[in-house]
Amino acid sequence: MLTIFATPKAFRGHIDVIQRNAIKSWTLLSINPEIILFGDDEGTPEVAREFGLQHIPAVARQRFRRSAGQ
C-alpha cells in the first residue's frame, strides 16, 4: 500500500487549480493510495471531503517561519 501525506497551501487562485489537479491524479493511480491531507489552511477540509480523503487538521507549527533561502 502507498500512503501519500500532503500539507497543501491555502486553496486560492491558481494554487487551487494546481493542488486539485495533483490530488485528482493521486486518486487515479492504479494502486489506489491512501491520501492524507494535513493542516487547516483555507479549503483543505472541503477538498478532503470532496475527494473522500482523510484530513488531520491539527498540526504543530513553529512559532517563527523561515523565509525562502534561509
User: Which of 29, 38, 30 has the alpha carbon at shortest distance from 61?
Assistant: 38
Q: Is residue 65 very low, low, confident or very high in pLDDT (cuts 50, 70, 90)?
A: low
Strand order in the sheet with 54-56: 3-6, 34-38, 54-56
**Predicted pLDDT of residue 66:** 63
pLDDT of residue 54: 98
Give per-residue pLDDT as tens, 7-52. 999 999 999 999 999 999 999 999 999 999 999 999 999 999 999 9
| Amino acid found at 53 | L
Are 41 and 15 a contacting pair, CB within 8 Å? no
Burial class (CB in 10 A: 0-12, 13-18, 19+), 1: exposed
Predicted local confidence at residue 67, as pLDDT: 61
On the question of pLDDT at 68 being above 80, the answer is no
